[in-house]
A = this chain, B = another copy of it.
């Protein structure tokens, strides 16, 4: 019996055309990021299980791919084995946790502040569905060691530039601050320990609407009066109203910082995109401590980037907290959008096929190919098939534009491949 040649469920093979688009995307954004002083790094795909499971990864912890211990470390003779006894490693489920580990592990050799680029695969054992993969690419920039909002401004303007370079035109940056959400939630009488659970529900506002959020909060057992008050407070707080926020015990500093970010980003946008305060923006991860942001494509009606400040994560790995902010573009989402709209990558290389019939000519054909390559063309050499016209139509299908047949002593001449 032949072995199945399908990819593992939820993963995908990348064919040449898709690969070209993905590589173009990566090069386009890294060029922008590097111009902005960010430096690319990479961490291993596998991490110690202890690191992964003791993180605030939330839902992602249930989606871990765990790796079996090897050699003497694996003892299968015991009964009632647990996953922790069987496994010691796992595949990373995001790039933020590994970055925090990386920073602590290498801080002596890193600049301060450290502006990082990471592009790499992450793995989550999600229930497979359209647009959800078990292995997918994340593309992050982070600034570690900068406590002022210059980090947020830098990340937002750089990400916006990257999105423009990826051909996105009509988008809006939404921004909020975890400390404002906290202020609102506590102002109506909820306790600090309830914030996380309430945020998880509030995060669904755009999917299930106001009524859905209310229903879910009631089903979690929260008092109806408080829930109503909370939703009312959120609805009323559409603008960044300083007076109203101060009444909710939000620090003036938090409000001024948001205003500064919105003001500078607005100016930097030159009207090509917009930034707006959105009290309903929550973002799922438990580790955010300050400003959070998301980019929504108005054209495609979906979120294409997201991030925020996480000043308390690195402190879990070392004595001192280190401020950190990150912004991630939705690589797979953007790839799907570009592919669906048949986006054409700018290229100036021409594909040429050189054909020979006789073994004695191979060296000369390679010489010809090299000359054409030096002129910037993409050149492949093929032996001549018996069915020559079929060979030519196949080359045409493969996007070859010209072909040349080598004949000793004759002029080296290229011909257009006709339909």
Question: Chain B residue with minimal CB distance to A372?
Answer: B35
Given A65-B67, A110-B15, A351-B37; A4-B125 close (CB under 8 Å): no
Query: Number of copies of this chain in the oligomer?
Result: 2
B-contact bits for A248-272, CB 8 A (1 contact / 0 none): 0000000000001001100110000
Contacts from A to B (Cβ < 8 Å): 2-8, 11-16, 19-20, 23, 34-37, 39-48, 50-51, 54, 65-68, 70-71, 74, 76-77, 79-83, 86-87, 89, 91, 101-102, 104-106, 109-113, 115, 121, 123, 125, 135, 148, 150, 153-154, 157, 260, 263-264, 267-268, 316-318, 349, 351, 359, 362-363, 366-367, 369, 373, 377-383, 394, 397-398
Residues of B with C-beta under 8 A to A77:
80
Contact B40 A5 (CB under 8 A): no
Name the contact of A44 in the complex, choosing from B11, B87, B349 (C-beta under 8 A): B11
Q: A80–B79 Cα gap in the complex (Å)?
A: 8
Complex contact A13–B362 (CB within 8 A): no
Contacts of A148 in B (CB 8 A): 383
In the complex formed, the residue of B with least CB distance to A374 is B35
State the Cβ distance, A389 to closest chain B Cβ, in Å.
Answer: 16
- Complex contacts, A8 vs chain B, CB 8 Å: 44, 46-48, 89
| Minimum Cβ distance to chain B for residue A52 (Å) | 10
Establish whether residues B4 and A51, one from each chain, have CB atoms under 8 Å apart when the complex forms.
yes
The distance in angstroms between the C-alpha atoms of A233 and B3, with both chains bound, is 40
Q: How far is the CA of A21 from the CA of B248 in the complex (A)?
A: 51
Q: How far is the CB of A81 from chain B (nearest CB, A)?
A: 6
Residue pair B86, A86 in contact (C-beta under 8 Å): yes
Given A50-B3, A79-B79, are A36 and B362 also a contact pair (CB < 8 Å)?
no
Known: A68-B66, A154-B381, A268-B363. A45 touches B43 (CB 8 A): no
A15 contacts which chain B residues (CB < 8 A)? 41, 106, 109-110
Query: Contact at A65–B89, with CB atoms within 8 Å?
Result: yes
- Other contacts beyond A66-B67, A76-B83, A111-B397: 15, CB < 8 A: A3-B316, A8-B47, A13-B41, A13-B43, A13-B105, A35-B373, A36-B369, A37-B379, A45-B45, A45-B135, A46-B65, A67-B91, A68-B87, A77-B80, A112-B394
Of B51, B70, B111, B267, which one neighbours A398 at CB under 8 angstroms?
B111
Residues of B within 8 A of A37 (CB): 351, 378-381
Return A43 CB to nearest CB of chain B, in Å: 6
Which of A37, A135, A363 has the most B CB atoms < 10 Å from its CB?
A37
**Across the two chains, which residue of chain B brings its CB closest to A81?**
B76
Q: Are B111 and A4 in contact (CB under 8 A)?
A: no
A294 shortest CB reach to chain B, Å: 21
Once the chains bind, are A373 and B23 in contact (CB under 8 Å)? Answer: no
- Structural contact, A7 and B105, CB atoms closer than 8 A: yes
State in angstroms the CA–CA spacing of A79 and B70 once bound together: 19
Question: Please, which residues of chain B bring their CB within 8 A of the CB of A363?
Answer: 263-264, 267-268
Interface pair A44/B4, CB less than 8 Å apart: no
13 contacting pairs across A/B (C-beta < 8 A):
A3-B54, A3-B317, A5-B318, A7-B47, A15-B109, A37-B381, A45-B45, A66-B68, A67-B68, A76-B81, A76-B83, A260-B359, A267-B363
